[in-house]
């Protein structure tokens, strides 16, 4: 689909492709803002509530990630039954209300509990855009569109720490949450005015326990998808570990101090660059060839991280370009892994998106918390985590591809039909 996206039912509205890309990116970016916007405020939050353990303050980010992964199970299946828009607006509402409640949390434990609720209730903001895109696109065309969206989406991790830091220059940390609520309200208003319902009435799935039981496990019974879901969970887990410990690692261990938001943003900006490049090459070379090549190079860069952490004195000048390279390569894997894993599921895109996001996010969040808690005032745990997770990810991708990399896919529908799955 190259023109405007029209409403499938209800009052007439349409949205052009460029605006569609920007809106999908804005919706998905709210989750990134809830993660990265917190990083500069972790010290102040810990000081306010008397949190002495420096690793415990990471949980403001970690529990949100974990709850968001668990929450991914629900909204996709519900959106297959009731449509995409109602579930989106429920998630917007959770985001605004819980952000305001976090701003007035009476204790650190209460703040963590609210972040759990926030992660659970707003998971649809990450899940449903993928289902909306899958409603209209498939295969390498979907991968290209996802990469284009990632270009816009990845501006948020670059700017979010600066957003948080800017608020902290004239206000206390609760105002970071107030700012999040205000931005979510703006995006919700834009969505209400411009985004049509993309799931036609005749394509909606019945909501019953048997339907959910059949739809959600489909990913786990599809060999061509599960390796990519688990593999991306591993790699994102390593990246979440970096996010959780980045303020301590870059800001304190490497002595970046107030420059931390800018250094973090600079490394994260490479994701936007690689997502742009991916959108230009993925349809020519194929999502598999691009992502497999990126994963192999990621392993090499991670090995260099280990070498640097052991033998090069852990200098910031060496750590930053290597981490930037890791994040850059992630841009060639994330959207492509996701689109490959979604290819077999045209009729149950919502349920498949939920199941895959649940596994990917929960796995990544648990690994990210574990890796962050291993922080020992050095870059060694981070380096070994990157290498281990990427090697395991390659093993899982090889499982899905039956031992052969860099090839164009077989017809996924034929594979599923032959195995009695589809």
pTM (2 d.p.): 0.76
Strands (E), 151-292: none
Task: Decide: 113 and 66 in contact? Cβ < 8 Å.
Answer: no
The CA distance from 248 to 54, in Å, is 8
Structure tokens at 24: 């999908």
The CA distance from 15 to 31, in Å, is 23
Structure tokens at 393: 């990810």
Task: Decide: 182 and 11 in contact? Cβ < 8 Å.
Answer: no
pLDDT digits (tens, 9 = 90+) for 278-303: 878 887 888 899 999 999 999 999 99
Domains of the chain: 15-199+215-418 (1.20.1250.20)
pLDDT digits (tens, 9 = 90+) for 208-242: 555 555 656 777 778 888 899 999 999 989 988 89
Q: End-to-end CA distance of the chain, in Å? A: 25
pLDDT digits (tens, 9 = 90+) for 309-365: 888 766 888 899 999 999 999 889 988 898 888 877 766 666 676 678 778 888 888
Q: Please give the share of the chain, as a percent, with pLDDT higher than 70.
A: 85
Q: Is 297 exposed, middle or buried (0-12, 13-18, 19+ CB in 10 A)?
A: middle
């Amino acid at each position: 689909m190259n023109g405007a996206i029209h409403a499938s039912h209800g009052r007439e509205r349409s949205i052009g492709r460029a605006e569609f890309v920007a809106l999908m990116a804005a919706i998905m970016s709210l989750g990134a803002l809830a993660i990265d916007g917190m990083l500069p405020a972790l010290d102040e939050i810990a000081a306010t509530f008397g949190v002495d353990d420096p690793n415990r303050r990471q949980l403001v980010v970690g529990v949100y990630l974990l709850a968001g992964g668990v929450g991914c199970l629900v909204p996709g299946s519900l959106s297959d039954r009731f449509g995409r828009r109602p579930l989106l607006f429920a998630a917007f509402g959770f985001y605004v209300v819980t952000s305001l409640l976090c701003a007035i949390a009476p204790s650190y434990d209460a703040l963590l509990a609210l972040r759990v609720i926030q992660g659970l209730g707003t998971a649809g903001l990450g899940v449903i855009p993928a289902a909306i895109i899958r409603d209209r696109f498939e295969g390498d065309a979907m991968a290209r569109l996802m990469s284009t969206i990632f270009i816009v989406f990845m501006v948020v991790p670059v700017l979010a720490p600066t957003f948080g830091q800017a608020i902290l220059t004239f206000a206390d940390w609760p105002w970071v949450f107030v700012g999040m609520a205000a931005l979510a309200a703006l995006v919700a208003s834009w969505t209400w005015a411009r985004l049509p319902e993309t799931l036609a009435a005749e394509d909606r799935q019945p909501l019953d326990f048997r339907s959910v039981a059949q739809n959600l496990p489909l990913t786990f019974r599809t060999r061509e998808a599960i390796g990519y879901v688990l593999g991306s969970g591993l790699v994102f887990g390593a990246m979440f570990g970096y996010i959780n410990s980045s303020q301590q690692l870059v800001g304190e261990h490497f002595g970046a101090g107030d420059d931390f938001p800018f250094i973090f943003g600079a490394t994260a900006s490479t994701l936007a660059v690689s997502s742009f490049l991916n959108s230009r090459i993925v349809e020519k070379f194929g999502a598999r060839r691009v992502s497999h090549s990126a994963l192999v190079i990621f392993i090499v860069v991670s090995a260099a991280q280990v070498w640097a952490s052991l033998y090069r004195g852990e200098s910031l000048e060496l750590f930053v370009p290597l981490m930037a390279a890791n994040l850059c390569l992630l841009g060639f894997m994330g959207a492509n892994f996701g689109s490959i894993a979604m290819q077999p599921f045209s009729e149950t895109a919502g349920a498949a998106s939920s199941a895959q996001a649940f596994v990917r996010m929960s796995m990544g969040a648990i690994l990210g918390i574990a890796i962050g808690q291993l922080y020992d005032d050095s870059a060694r745990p981070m380096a070994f985590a990157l290498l281990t997770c990427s090697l395991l990810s390659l093993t899982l991708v090889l499982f899905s591809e039956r031992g052969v990399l860099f090839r164009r896919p077989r017809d996924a529908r034929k594979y599923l039909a032959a195995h009695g799955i589809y």
